[in-house]
Amino acid sequence: MSKLADTNKKIEETVVGTYKKIEDTVVAGYKKVEDSFVETFLKKDGETVEEAKERLKNV
């Protein structure tokens, strides 16, 4: 490959890798907020967060 193509490939890998890290961080943060909301407002006594989410899916 040419030097320009190699440089573009490195830039591409860096941008895509950085985007993926940001995406993973945002999704993890959302899941944390979602779990907290379910636990605080939607969970019944003796029920886990996962059980509450499953129950709500079937409503």
Taking 80 as the threshold, does the pLDDT of residue 46 lie above it? yes
Does the pTM surpass 0.85? The reply is no
The model's pLDDT over 14-41, given as tens digits with 9 standing for 90+, comes to: 999 999 999 999 999 999 999 999 999 9
Concatenate the DSSP letters of all residues of 8-55 into one string.
Answer: HHHHHHHHHHHHHHHHHHHHHHHHHHHHHHIIIIIPPTT--HHHHHHH
1 has pLDDT over 80: no
* Average pLDDT, integer, range 45-54: 97
Q: Which of 33, 55, 58 is nearest to 46 (CA)?
A: 55
Q: Is 10 left (phi over 0), alpha (psi -120 to 50) or beta?
A: alpha
User: In the chain, pLDDT over 90 holds for what percent of residues?
Assistant: 97
